[in-house]
C-alpha cells in the first residue's frame, strides 16, 4: 500500500507544484489586498490548480510511456516502468479532475474556473499533438506559466502589469528551451530522439535562443524596475538594485546549462541548487522590503 501511494505521488509529480507557487505572485505585488478572504482564495487556487496539473502530467505520461521507456531518466517514471498500471493511472486521473474542477467551481470565482479549464484543454492539446511541433512546444509551456499568473490575479480580482506578464513568459520560455537542450545533447550522443519535436532543434539553434532569451529577460527586468510606473507605485528610485539578483540567477542558470550540462529539469534545479535558492530568497527579501518596508 505504501509503495503504491509513493508511486501515485510520483505519477502526480507533486514536486512540480513549485511551479504553481506562481499563483501567489499577484498577492505579493498587491500588498493592499492581503485580507484573509483573498489569501484563502489564492491558497485554494494553488491546491486545485495543482490537482489539475497533476491530471495533465498523468495524461502526458500515459501517451509518452513508450518514448519515456527509451529515455535514460524518464524510463523510471511510474507508467513507463510499470510501477503504476494504465488502469490505475486512468482511475487517478479521473479522481483528480473530479476533485479539482468541483472544488474550483464551488469555492472560486467563475473566471478562475475558466482559466484552469483553459489550462487543462491547452495541455491536453499539447499532450496529444502540439508537443510534437518544434518551437510551439516550448511556447505552450511558457504560456502555462502565464496562465498560473492570471489564475492568481483573478482569484483576488486584480489586473496584472504587462511587464509582469511579459517577463514571466520570457523567463518560462528561457527555462523551456534550456530543458530542450538536454534532449538535444542526448540525441547527439546516443542518436535516440527522446521526443518528435527534438528533430526540429539542434545545439547551435538552442544555444543561440538561450542566450537571446537570457538577455531579453534581464533587459526587460531592468526596464521594468526603472520605469516611471514602478518608481511611482513603490515610491522608490532604487528598485533597480534588485536586478543584481536577477543577473546572478541567470548567470548561475547559464552555468548549469553550458558548463555542468544539467538543464533537464528546471524544477529540480530550483529545489536542489543552493545558489539559485539563495538568490531567489535574497531577491524576495529585497523586493519585499521595497513593497512592504
Domain boundaries, the chain: 34-127, 161-293
Q: Which tens digit of pLDDT belongs to each residue from 167-179?
A: 999 999 999 999 9
Whose CA is closest to 41, among 99, 121, 103?
103
Q: Which tens digit of pLDDT belongs to each residue from 91-142?
A: 999 999 999 999 999 999 999 999 999 999 999 999 888 888 999 999 999 9
pLDDT at residue 239 greater than cutoff 70: yes
Q: Please give the average per-residue pLDDT across 52-59, as a whole number.
A: 94
pLDDT score for 3: 63
Residues in contact with 145: Cβ distance below 8 Å, sequence separation at least 6, in sequence order: 19, 22, 168, 169, 171, 172
Spatial separation of the C-alpha atoms in residues 55 and 278, rounded to whole Å: 31
**pTM (predicted TM-score):** 0.91
Spatial separation of the C-alpha atoms in residues 58 and 64, rounded to whole Å: 10
Q: What percent of the chain has pLDDT over 90?
A: 69
pLDDT at residue 33 greater than cutoff 90: no
Q: Within 13 Å of residue 275, how many CA atoms lie on the same side as its CB?
A: 12
Band (2; pLDDT cuts 50, 70, 90): low
Torsion, Cα 154 146 48 153, to 10 degrees, reads -20
pLDDT score for 194: 65
Do residues 20 and 53 lie in contact, with contact meaning Cβ atoms separated by under 8 Å?
A: yes
pLDDT at residue 264 greater than cutoff 90: no
Task: Specify the higher pLDDT residue, 41 or 193.
Answer: 41
Q: Please give the average per-residue pLDDT across 138-151, as a whole number.
A: 96
Residue 87 has which C-alpha cell?
488502469
Q: Please give the average per-residue pLDDT across 66-90, as a whole number.
A: 84
Amino acid at each position: 500500500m505504501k509503495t503504491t501511494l509513493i508511486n501515485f505521488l510520483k505519477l502526480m509529480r507533486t514536486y512540480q507544484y513549485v511551479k504553481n507557487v506562481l499563483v501567489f505572485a499577484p498577492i505579493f505585488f498587491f500588498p493592499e489586498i492581503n485580507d484573509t478572504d483573498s489569501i484563502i482564495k489564492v491558497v485554494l487556487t494553488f491546491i486545485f490548480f495543482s490537482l489539475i496539473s497533476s491530471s495533465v502530467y498523468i495524461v502526458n505520461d500515459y501517451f509518452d510511456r513508450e518514448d519515456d521507456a527509451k529515455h535514460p531518466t524518464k524510463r523510471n517514471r511510474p507508467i513507463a516502468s510499470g510501477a503504476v498500471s494504465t488502469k490505475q493511472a486512468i482511475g487517478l486521473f479521473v479522481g483528480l479532475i473530479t476533485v479539482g474542477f468541483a472544488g474550483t467551481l464551488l469555492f472560486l470565482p467563475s473566471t478562475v474556473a475558466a482559466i484552469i479549464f483553459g489550462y487543462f484543454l491547452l495541455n491536453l492539446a499539447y499532450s496529444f499533438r502540439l508537443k510534437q511541433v518544434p518551437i510551439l512546444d516550448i511556447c505552450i509551456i511558457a504560456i502555462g506559466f502565464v496562465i498560473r499568473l492570471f489564475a492568481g490575479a483573478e482569484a483576488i480580482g486584480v489586473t496584472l502589469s504587462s511587464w509582469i506578464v511579459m517577463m514571466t513568459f520570457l523567463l518560462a520560455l528561457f527555462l523551456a528551451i534550456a530543458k530542450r537542450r538536454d534532449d538535444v545533447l542526448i540525441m547527439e550522443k546516443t542518436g535516440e530522439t527522446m521526443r518528435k519535436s527534438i528533430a526540429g532543434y539542434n545545439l547551435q539553434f538552442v544555444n543561440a535562443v538561450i542566450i537571446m532569451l537570457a538577455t531579453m529577460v534581464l533587459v526587460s527586468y531592468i526596464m521594468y524596475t526603472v520605469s516611471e510606473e514602478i518608481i511611482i507605485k513603490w515610491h522608490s528610485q532604487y528598485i533597480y538594485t534588485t536586478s543584481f539578483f536577477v543577473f546572478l540567477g541567470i548567470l548561475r542558470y547559464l552555468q548549469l546549462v553550458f558548463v555542468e550540462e544539467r538543464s533537464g529539469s528546471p524544477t529540480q534545479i530550483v529545489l536542489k541548487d543552493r545558489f539559485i535558492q539563495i538568490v531567489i530568497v535574497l531577491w524576495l527579501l529585497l523586493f519585499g522590503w521595497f513593497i512592504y518596508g
